[in-house]
Amino acid sequence: MEIEFNSSIEKLRLFYLNAPIGLLEITASGEIVNINKCGKVFFAQLQQAYHCNSVHIYDILQQIDTTFPAQIRHFQPSSGKIFLKFFFFKLYQQEKEEEKCFKIIVSKVMDDCFIVALEDNTDKHLQEKAAQQSELDKAIAQGKYEIASEVLHDIGNAVVGFGAYLNRVNRMLDRNKGDNLQNVSTFVKNVQPQLADSLGADKAAALATLLEGIAKNERENKEELRKSVAEQLHIISHIQEILTIQRQYVVGHEVQERKPVKLKQVIDDCMSMLFASFDKKNIQVNLYVDSNDMPVIKGDRTKLMQVILNLLKNSVEAIDLEAPVKRIDIQLQRTGNSIDLEIRDSGKGFEAEKACQFFQRGFTTKSTGTGLGLYNCKQIIEAHAGIIQMNSDGPNKGATTLIRFQQ
């Protein structure tokens, strides 16, 4: 029996020593009587965190909570749990600051015998914190989706209204053929000899020439207006396509359909939509493409438009209004088994080490930027089996963006 008893004592001692939590046996005065392996590690961490070299437990507990020592000393029952608390502290390891979360349980076993249990709760705390952050992110995302849905709805209504006005202008142009002014010009020209008798030859000729010029000018203005209306309606149709796609993204139904896309047409449409921005800054925009080879890829036309629009807007924003050279060159060409789209601007440029950061989620150099524009561009291009890269020779030396689609 004595052998079995001694064996049980040895098992309990080994369990105590190797328990996965720190266990310290202390007296009422705070003297450490026994301490297991984890306890030594955790106690050393607390000494480091609180800059305390004392081996007296109360000197450490006092810095965690000034009431801890008194609670232990004045605990009246013969046994029982005195308190359970969570506390946080910062630990510096290998020149790195780490926030730790510990759980401490102090219990009285018998007179002048107390057990302090220390458990590293950091991982569990981080998991709970991550779960809370995830729930918060979901709530924020849901709020953003609701706002985005309302904004898209309002934009859609405005676009439809604008399109309706443009169609009214088209109908007015169709009704007003401009034949009356031309008929008057033709009539005056035919009766010019008779008018010469009363007005004089010079005045009659001047009147005929004036009316002919006015009629010609009206025809040209109407044709220009008709072209402008047609371009605006074309742009509106693309905006409506974008809005449709974005609505589907908002509700979680992304369109996966891929169709043949003529990249030059996409670029042309993007340039048309940004014409006012180019004109405002007086930026010269050049498109270089082989007219005998119009590259076509299979993809999502609207998403590709979003990429090119984003890149062109970035180039416009990078060019100062007072810059001596304001230029954007767009080159589309087939290279071996790939199609390369290159956008070069004469803007501010950037340090070489920033090139890989631009496509990271959340990275931005703009005071009002979200850091999502280029990140989303990268996601779209990679979804089209392509790559996107940016580089610059340095500040004030412009930037170049390369998109390469494998064929």
Mark 172-199 as b/e (b = at least 16 C-beta within 10 Å).
eeeeeeeeebbeebeebbeebeebbeee
pLDDT at 119: 94
The lowest-confidence range among 109-123, 350-364, 371-385 is: 350-364
Reduce the DSSP state of residue 157 to 3 states and report it: helix
Indicate whether 332 pLDDT > 90.
Answer: yes
Kindly report, residue by residue over 224-255, the tens digit of the pLDDT: 888 887 777 777 776 776 766 666 666 655 55
pLDDT at 39: 92
pLDDT at 288: 93
pTM of the full predicted structure? 0.45
Kindly report, residue by residue over 268-278, the tens digit of the pLDDT: 888 888 888 88
Q: Specify whether the CB–CB gap between 399 and 349 falls below 8 A.
A: yes
348: left (phi over 0), alpha (psi -120 to 50) or beta: alpha
pLDDT band at 171 (very low <50, low <70, confident <90, very high): confident
Q: What percentage of the chain has pLDDT greater than the value 70?
A: 88
Q: Specify whether the CB–CB gap between 83 and 65 falls below 8 A.
A: no
Kindly report, residue by residue over 54-105, the tens digit of the pLDDT: 888 999 999 999 999 999 999 999 999 999 999 999 888 777 888 899 999 9
- The rounded distance, in Å, linking the Cα atoms of 252 and 229 is 35
- The rounded distance, in Å, linking the Cα atoms of 219 and 225 is 10
Q: Which long-range contacts (CB under 8 A, 24 or more apart) does 228-233 make?
A: 229/166, 229/169, 229/170, 229/173, 231/272, 232/162, 232/166, 233/163, 233/166, 233/167, 233/170
- Comparing CA positions, the residue from 250, 305, 316 lying closest to residue 283 is 316
- The rounded distance, in Å, linking the Cα atoms of 323 and 383 is 36
Q: What is the dihedral of CA 57, 62, 68, 69, to 10 degrees?
A: 60
- Read off the tokens for 223: 């044709």
Reduce the DSSP state of residue 110 to 3 states and report it: strand
Q: In what order do the strands lie in the sheet with 113-120?
A: 32-35, 22-26, 113-120, 96-110, 80-93
Span 355-382, mean pLDDT? 78
- Comparing CA positions, the residue from 217, 220, 211, 216 lying closest to residue 184 is 211
Residues 6+ apart with CB under 8 A from 285: 271, 278, 327, 328, 329, 330
Q: Specify whether the CB–CB gap between 399 and 358 falls below 8 A.
A: no
pLDDT band at 370 (very low <50, low <70, confident <90, very high): low
Q: Specify whether the CB–CB gap between 302 and 261 falls below 8 A.
A: no
- Burial of 87 (C-beta count, 10 Å sphere; 0-12/13-18/19+): middle
- The rounded distance, in Å, linking the Cα atoms of 303 and 381 is 9
Task: Give the length of the chain.
Answer: 407
Kindly report, residue by residue over 12-49, the tens digit of the pLDDT: 788 878 888 999 999 999 999 999 999 999 999 999 99
CB atoms within 10 A of CB 122: 15
